[in-house]
Amino acid sequence: MILPTFSETADEAMSVARRAEEVGIDGVFCYDHLWPMGQPDRPALAPFPVLAAVAATTQRISVGTLVARIGLVPDEVLVTEFETLDALAPGRVVAGLGTGDRLSADENRAYGISFRPADERVEALRRCARALRARSIAVWVGGASRKTMAVAEEEQVVANLWDAPEAAVADQAARSEVTWAGPPPTFSDASGELASLFGRLSAAGATWAVLGWPVPLEAMAAAARGLTPRAD
């Protein structure tokens, strides 16, 4: 599950993370945006401080980014941020990585951060994925472009697809491990429809399903019991 971090404080995110662990959710994640997409007047909490606080106050739940954007900080700093998080929560970290795209480019430019050409970002993604994998940190590569997915396949890390149809999940599952993430559900019957969604994604080959906030935590955990993918 993706935590609510488009806020002035981390109070709600921390409360949600603790409750997620209590009900049996497998993982909580944070976006890496300087503001919510297309809304520069709204706040956005940085992912690593929030995830570090969650890691320090939980015991079991995985913590990760969906996704940490290449280029917002130097590559070496990004790798070190994940290493530090892994020191707080050994074996519980998911390093979700992405290159960003034209929709997020204005965030960089507003703060004077270079937005490198796509090929340079893809190669930086590869270097970071390789460095993190060498440190035994789980790596998910998020994106939809063939070049980005090729990094996941060639570096033998996980491909993460955002709101992808089941056919696209199945297609990627033939080439690499694949996880799925998507926006918050709008179901009227949360338990039944979540169970159906998780079942379809599992049949397509996804190993995790990550939903955006808000989501009914108890219903999600109940729907996922006995099913793969894991629910977060």
Query: Which of 123, 129, 132, 125 is CA-nearest to residue 85?
Result: 132
Residue 132 CA to residue 78 CA, distance in Å, equals: 10
- Over 90: is that where the pLDDT of 230 sits? no
**Residue 213 pLDDT grade (very low, low, confident, very high; cuts 50, 70, 90):** very high
- The set of residues, in sequence order, having a beta carbon less than 8 Å from that of 76 and lying 6+ positions away, is none
Query: Which of 28, 13, 9 is CA-nearest to residue 220?
Result: 28
Interaxial angle between packed helices 190-204 and 166-173, expressed in degrees from 0 to 180 and rounded to the nearest 10: 30
Residue 180 CA to residue 161 CA, distance in Å, equals: 5
**Residue 51 pLDDT grade (very low, low, confident, very high; cuts 50, 70, 90):** very high
Model pLDDT, residue 191: 76
pTM, to two decimals: 0.95
Residues 95 and 87: beta-carbon distance below 8 Å: no
Mean pLDDT within 37-44: 94
Query: Which of 190, 183, 191 is CA-nearest to residue 214?
Result: 183
30 DSSP β-pair partners: 65
Model pLDDT, residue 221: 92
Interaxial angle between packed helices 118-134 and 75-88, expressed in degrees from 0 to 180 and rounded to the nearest 10: 30
CA torsion 211→216→217→223, rounded to 10°? Answer: -80
- The set of residues, in sequence order, having a beta carbon less than 8 Å from that of 77 and lying 6+ positions away, is none
The runs of H, that is alpha helices, within the chain are: 11-23, 47-57, 75-88, 105-110, 118-134, 146-154, 166-173, 190-204, 217-224
Residue 28 CA to residue 18 CA, distance in Å, equals: 10
Mean pLDDT within 85-113: 96
- Percent of the chain at pLDDT > 90 equals 89
Query: Which of 24, 22, 47, 21 is CA-nearest to residue 34?
Result: 47
Structure tokens at 7: 């806020």
| Domains of the chain and any CATH numbers | 11-231 (3.20.20.30)
